Structure 1
Amino acid sequence: MRERIFLSSPHMSDEGYEMQYIQEAFDTNWIAPLGENVNQFEHELAAKVGSKAAAALSSGTAAIHLALKAAGVGEGDIVFCPTLTFSATANPIIYQNAIPVFIDSDYETWNMCPQALERAFDKYPNVKAVIVVHLYGISAQIDQIVDLCRKHNVILIEDAAESLGTYYKGKHTGTFGDYGIFSFNGNKIITTSGGGMLVSDNEEGIAKARFWATQSRDQARHYQHSELGFNYRMSNVVAGIGRGQLKVLDRRVEKKRYIFEFYKKQLSALNGIEFMPSNTWDEPNYWLSSVTLSGKIRPIDIMDALEKENIESRPVWKPMHRQPFFEKYDFVGTDVSEKLFENGVCLPSDTKMTDEDLGTVVDIIKRLWWE
């Protein structure tokens, strides 16, 4: 059996940047969720994407949770959320005892459809917040979504967990809304093994998020808590990994783009295969190279054929409104997200893949058309 080819696995820098910062944390005995690495990772990430402030947290999910809290979302409030996403986007809405309403995708971006969002505003004029996702590193039509949120005076939260390094019209995704979040989970374009970041130009909001994330401990000699708190701060060791990874982000984006272009060149001629959208306004990070199928070959055929060769792939996200936990909540749209789920597959996009690895994946897929 060949060595496993992963969908997207951690990739440390060749220079060992991460170990330098980790060693510094050990040498100074700053191992807890405090320290220079945490402070500098927040500063460096904010500078990289062009936000005024950032809070390093234990996960991207925690970042969404605190963004919702900062937006004032509470019990019974309506929050619009894309249906085509991972459950971590929607779960924090439930944490706040709020009510998700799921919005369909468009084929132009695979992300939240502005027309469906506008219909949702007509149906739910008292919505409290909107969460938009930049799926697989493709930016949503964020200008239109921002305009709709401003028109209705609603807070916009960008889930850019999959799109660090993606630009929309020359500006980083995650920086258009009132709050943006990034994830450093093990499969993301850069990783800290786990962790996330909340960014915003609202410096007071970020300071408040840091307070909540540190158990809402008041300024007092004794332990005093006037608000509900959370244990959400990132550790100094984990932040050290993040600082090292941030140095190679541009390289990782370049390799992800190379992988996408390799697949596109080799597979586009196959009948019934279409690659995820590319738009003139969008500079994706190509986190996962994904395709949809319209012929006799189905996603399960590709996934099974690859798995037999010890190669990982996976379906496109199953829409939230079709998930057992979330199916009781409203959905606004048609069937775009369901079609993308039924016909989509994410190809292995690991930045450690060689041309030989990529060629193996291509050959396995082509054989399905030749058989």
Structure 2
Amino acid sequence: MANSHTVLLSAPDVGALEQEYVLAALRSGWVAPAGPDLDLFEQEIARRVGVPYAVAVSSGTAALHLALLGIGAGPGDVVVVPTMTFAATANAVVYTGATPVFADCEAATGNLDPELLSGLLAEGAPVRVVLTVDLFGCCADYERILPVCERYGVPVIEDAAEALGARHRGRPAGSFGRAATLSFNGNKIMTTSGGGMLLTADAALAGRARHLAGQARLPVAHYEHDEIGYNYRLSNLLAALGRAQLNRLDEMIERRRAVRDGYAKVFAHVDGVRLLGGDDPAANCWLTSIVVDPQRAGWQAGDLAAHLAARNVETRPIFKPMHLQPVFAGARTVVNGTAERLFRDGLLLPSGSALSDDQVRKVLDDVTQFLDGRR
């Protein structure tokens, strides 16, 4: 367990502006879920991403669930899910009664492999949706993925939980596919403590998501519901926090990029070590991960993790692939071993915008000390 002196992977970055916004919302009396900050937060995120509609909800997982329901995913349907992702992506599919099929990733980024996807769709399976994930703030290859899905008439939902502020070919993360989702969890690029957002250009999809998120209550004086709904609304107070964070988003991304640049310099001449995603200037640098080739480097990712843990520096392996998770044992997979290698050889390093200069220097010095000892 981390102590008060541990350098964390990605702690929330909040300060005076966030206090000002939340206190103003509290004093306004809009403490319940509805309120002006909630409306403005949706508008500001939609404008930032460049889509017409945004629906603020209680988590990124809730946003995924609503997006899948909006497209009609349900029992008997297949949803393609990248195996290299957090469990929420796959869990949301199961919530609808649909079945996830896990596909492997590209080695360079950890994102969904377009070639494997193309082969899977060519088989003619009843695929209802393809879910993409913008891993660690680097967008999937939509230039290749979207035409493949269009060819087979399969809609795309973009899980951009980690990628707000990133871009692909000049287009913002969160603007791809029939719908996209964001997460504002405490460790994300910006936070509302807990929360998420559904983004879409489809008015009907947005309207149904908003309806379901409010327990599917009809607009009449008494409580009347026309289908099973969910308590997925985001509160006005948390939206106020999100508005302050959004005002600081660009500076927080720049801070994370500076931290990533520091790692890039330290590992630049270390044989057998690379940064996952390379030096993509369009990524938001949410989390920096290295990938270690033990045969060339002479050490394993776990060796560095142990060295840093002994010095109160938090690290974490890259996501354990979904097809290796006990809960999804027996699920259909289309894999080539890439995700398993990234899990085995990858290591996430402290990347948060709240890291102080002293903390960044400490981590870089600790890494350098480890590397010097291995030369």
Change over 3 Å in CA distance of 1:234–1:2 after alignment to 2: closer
* Cα distance per residue 1:78-120 (max 9 Å; x no partner): 0000000000111011101110000100123210000010111
Paired position in structure 1 for 2:201 = 201
The answer to whether the Cα contact below 8 Å between 1:267 and 1:362 also exists between their aligned partners in 2 is no
Tell me the CA shift for residue 333 of structure 1. 2.4
Q: Paired residue for 1:243? A: 243
Unaligned runs of 5+ in 1: none
> Residue deviations 1:28-56, cap 9 Å, x none?
22111110111000000000110101000
Give 1:326's aligned amino acid: F
Residue in structure 1 matched with residue 284 of structure 2 by the alignment: 285
Where do 1:21-32 residues align within 5 Å? 21-32=21-32
Distance 2:32 2:305 in 1: 41
Aligned to 2:60: 60
Give the aligned partner of residue 303 of structure 2. 301
Equivalent residues of 2:79, 2:100 under 8 A apart: yes
TM-score (norm 2): 0.95
Q: Shift of residue 265 of structure 1?
A: 0.8
Distance 1:359 1:17, change over 3 A: closer
RMSD of aligned Cα (Å): 1.4
CA distance in 2, matches of 1:279, 1:368: 23
Matches within 5 A, 1:66-85: 66-85=66-85
Q: 2:326 & 2:153 partners in 1: Cα distance?
A: 32
C-alpha separation between the residues in 2 aligned to 1:12 and 1:355? 16
What is the CA distance between 1:139 and its match in structure 2?
A: 1.1
Q: Does 1:51 align with 2:51?
A: yes
Q: Is the 8 A contact 2:12 2:186 kept in 1?
A: yes
Shift of 1:256: 0.8
Q: Which residue of 2 aligns with 1:180?
A: 180
2:14 matches 1:12? yes
Q: Please give the secondary structure, in 2, of the residue aligned with 1:105.
A: coil
Query: What residue is the counterpart of 2:34 in the other structure?
Result: 34
| Residues 270-312 of structure 1 deviation map (CA, whole Å, 9 limit, x = unaligned) | 22211112377x6000101111011232121111111111111
Question: Paired residue for 2:144?
Answer: 144
The residue type paired with residue 291 of structure 1 is I
Shift of 1:243: 0.4
Counterpart Cα distance in 1 of 2:282 and 2:76: 37
Give runs of aligned pairs for residues 1-371 of structure 1, distance below 5 A.
Answer: 3-13=5-15, 16-278=16-278, 283-295=282-294, 296-371=298-373
Deviation by residue 1:231-271 (Cα, 9 ceiling, x = unmatched): 00000111010000000000011011111111101222122
Question: Retained in 1: the 8 A contact 2:37–2:239?
Answer: yes
Matches of 2:44 and 2:150, distance apart in 1 = 29
Instruction: Classify 1:195/1:2 alpha carbon distance in 2 versus 1 (closer, same or farther; 3 Å).
Output: closer
Partners of 1:117 and 1:124 lie apart in 2 by 12
Following superposition, the deviation at residue 124 of structure 1 comes to 4.3
More displaced stretch, 28-37 vs 46-55: 28-37
Q: Tell me how far apart the structure 1 counterparts of residues 354 and 25 of structure 2 sit (CA, whole Å).
A: 27
TM-score by length of 1: 0.96
The letter for the 2-side match of 1:305 is H
Distance across 2 between alignment mates of 1:370 and 1:291: 17
Q: Distance in 2 between matches of 1:31 and 1:48?
A: 25
Following TM superposition, by how much is the alpha carbon of 1:207 offset from its aligned partner in structure 2, in angstroms? 1.4
Q: Distance in 1 between matches of 2:6 and 2:311?
A: 8
